Structure 1
Amino acid sequence: MQVPVIDISALYEDDPNGWDQVMEQLYDAHSTVGFSILTGHGVPARMMDDLFTASARFYALPLEKKLAYRYGANLRGYLPLNTSTLIRSTLGSARKPNYSESFIVLNELDESLWRQWSGSAMGGYQVWPTEPKEFEIAVRRYRAAMTRVGEAIVRCFSCMVGLPRDGLDRYYEMPNPILRLLHYPALAARDANQFGSAPHTDYGCLTFIAQDDVGGLQIKAADGSWFDVPIIPHALVLNTGQVMEAWSGGTLKATPHRVINHPEKSRYSVGFFYDCGLNTRVMPVASMTEPMCACKPQPKTYGEHLETLLRANYSFAD
């Protein structure tokens, strides 16, 4: 089993044939492996390097400084080691917390969503570290660049679930992108139940991962074995989440994956979860335009789906 490498540069060019070829390659990858590795994505290598540098400098700060930005009632800010446990997962409950620390950046809620979602994990206001001083600007630049990538890729996936190119646009009018800077400390004596990130499938639509050269990201094959995701400098690893799998009626795969800590080296990665609006329904897109019958249970929205899983797997402050 291999992760296909796909050059997506044609998505940004006036080349219909090239666009179709990229879409077809993405379909082949995500209907089988559920993962792909993207090159030609247009995010400058220097921008990615600057973000990794800022991330490493933040995690090198004393713990008490990092705790000043700890998340509370909302999932924004710093998550210390061992504060997330995958209790609610498609692969069952993890036995130990994830041995990783992270910093989460969310969009500010649109005014039209505030009353409904302000008390959720996605509510609140973003906190930003004052050191390193380049942290916030590096994150904002990368997030803006990744939004452009996400917009281009979503149009491919729209065709992949049987809609026109702009068929999913309505669900991304107020998207819910989540950026997560991750640090996996070295773990010399790891037991069988300890992971940097326990086996899981992602909650949302599309996940883009930038990773350093340490390795540790693994995918579960159909036969139950695990294999390493190749490392290509400045490429993006793309995987399908649970919502996109539901939209496609199961054709596109939300594949289980995990992260193993290196015994001697820290690993750094950046996850960009390009997800739809909070009030988007989680069901096959072929049924999303049909009237909902009051006599049947209503499908969950993405926001309800996300809130349920986040509240189960993270320890929020009261």
Structure 2
Amino acid sequence: MTGDFTSIPVVDIAPLYDGDGTSRHTVDEAIGGACCDIGFFVVTGQSSAARLDETRRSRLLAFLDCTREVKWPIARRKYEPSNRNIYRGYFPAIDGVLAYKEGIDIGPELTPSDPRLSLGHPLLETNLWPPEAVVPGWRSAILDYYAAMEELGFQLLHAIARFLALPDDWFDDKFRGGNSTLRLLRYPVRTAASVAGIEEKILRLHDGKRYEIMTAEHCDSGCLTLLHQDGVGGLQARNRQGDWIDVPAIDGSVVVNLGDLMQRWTNDLFRATEHRVLGSGQVRESVPFFFEPAVDAVIAAPPGFAERGPGYPPIAYGDYLIEKVQRFPEFSNFLPALGN
């Protein structure tokens, strides 16, 4: 891993769907190279179902336009103690924290008879939905987009596997019955109340200008983050020299970045890169999809990788994620709600 990047590559992945062997290999190499050196890249050419324009994005984000009376029945128990859900559901923007955003987390659509629920794992919950009459067609639109992003995730995993000289489907069994998260986010313009007591903590100097931080510097926890961002921008990735590089906001594209898990899984061959979101004085909206394995999937380096780096012991993904997510404000101390 070098980390000596000054821009984020843009990769047209159309050949992954219908290209010949040569063009597909070119895409595999571009993706693999970005995973090794940067941990970030932007993809175009994905299926239309995995592409958002302004109209489709607004439709997905329609829930965030609803009143408190609609949002609060599906807020996490952290924010509404009478609710049962601790991992899925709505979270509000909170004054006095660096990550000033509201959103909702949606997981796989688990029916009461889904065998995954028998595991009793705290990260496995059924989704809660607003009444269909209040947000007509929203649930269907969400589930369609969720499925499209899962399909995109598998396409990228297959390219990564080929780059690593593994069978195309080497990762697949870990992601069958996965626990991916679709998150809908809105960053409001900061109010005076939102910065009270943290005025100095939220300021960042970049290119000679002072900005308010909207999401503080961090690495993601999981495998692949597939992000649709609007044209407002503000997302930046940090290179090895400590410079913050803007991640381009290209209409219809998806930003891909690696989480800590993928760095661990490849024994540090791949890179999880620190990133942040700077405020611009405008409302910012984004739709990240955290493509995640099953909670009971055991994560261990592929054959031949154990000797390439520090060597991490195998770990169940759900246990790993519980430890990691509690670093983020919306998940801090979320397990004690169940008495754990």
Smaller-chain TM-score range? 0.7 to 0.9
Paired with 2:94 and 2:164, the residues of 1 have a C-alpha distance of 37
Task: Give the TM-score, by structure 2 length.
Answer: 0.80
8 A Cα contact 2:60 2:141, kept in partner? no
Task: Give the corresponding residue for 1:123.
Answer: 124
Task: Give the corresponding residue for 2:148.
Answer: 145
Task: Give the corresponding residue for 1:199.
Answer: 217
Give the C-alpha shift of residue 119 in structure 1: 4.3
Task: Give the corresponding residue for 1:300.
Answer: 315
Paired with 2:279 and 2:73, the residues of 1 have a C-alpha distance of 26
Paired with 2:273 and 2:180, the residues of 1 have a C-alpha distance of 20
* Counterpart pick for 2:76 among 71, 76, 81: 71
Change (3 A) 1:45 1:153: closer
Change (3 A) 1:67 1:212: same
Q: Deviations over 1:133-192 (max 9, x none)?
A: 232122111111112111111101112344221211221222221100010111277645
8 A Cα contact 1:281 1:288, kept in partner? no
8 A Cα contact 1:213 1:231, kept in partner? yes
- Percentage of matched positions with identical amino acids: 30
Change (3 A) 1:283 1:58: same
Paired with 1:298 and 1:240, the residues of 2 have a C-alpha distance of 20
* Counterpart pick for 1:223 among 228, 241, 247: 241
* Counterpart pick for 2:302 among 280, 285, 298: 285
Instruction: State the one-letter code of the partner of 1:129.
Output: P
**1:54-133 aligned within 5 A:** 54-72=59-77, 73-82=85-94, 96-108=97-109, 111-116=114-119, 118-120=120-122, 122-130=123-131, 131-133=134-136
Instruction: State the one-letter code of the partner of 2:14.
Output: S
Instruction: State the one-letter code of the partner of 2:235.
Output: L
Paired with 2:43 and 2:167, the residues of 1 have a C-alpha distance of 22
Q: Confirm or deny that 1:271 pairs with 2:325.
A: no
Secondary structure, counterpart of 1:68 in structure 2: helix
Give the C-alpha shift of residue 26 in structure 1: 0.4
Change (3 A) 1:35 1:204: same
Secondary structure, counterpart of 1:208 in structure 2: strand
Paired with 1:229 and 1:46, the residues of 2 have a C-alpha distance of 18
Give the C-alpha shift of residue 14 in structure 1: 4.8
8 A Cα contact 1:210 1:269, kept in partner? yes
8 A Cα contact 1:208 1:239, kept in partner? yes
Give the C-alpha shift of residue 20 in structure 1: 0.7
Task: Give the corresponding residue for 2:275.
Answer: 257
Secondary structure, counterpart of 1:197 in structure 2: strand
Change (3 A) 1:153 1:262: same
Change (3 A) 1:3 1:59: same
Give the C-alpha shift of residue 99 in structure 1: 0.3
Paired with 1:183 and 1:249, the residues of 2 have a C-alpha distance of 35
User: Structure 2: which 5+ runs fail to align?
Assistant: 1-5, 78-84, 203-212, 307-311
Change (3 A) 1:198 1:144: same
Q: Confirm or deny that 1:167 pairs with 2:184.
A: no
Q: Deviations over 1:29-78 (max 9, x none)?
A: 11111111100011348754444212443222233432222023431111
Structure 1 vs Structure 2 CA RMSD: 2.5
Task: Give the corresponding residue for 2:10.
Answer: 5
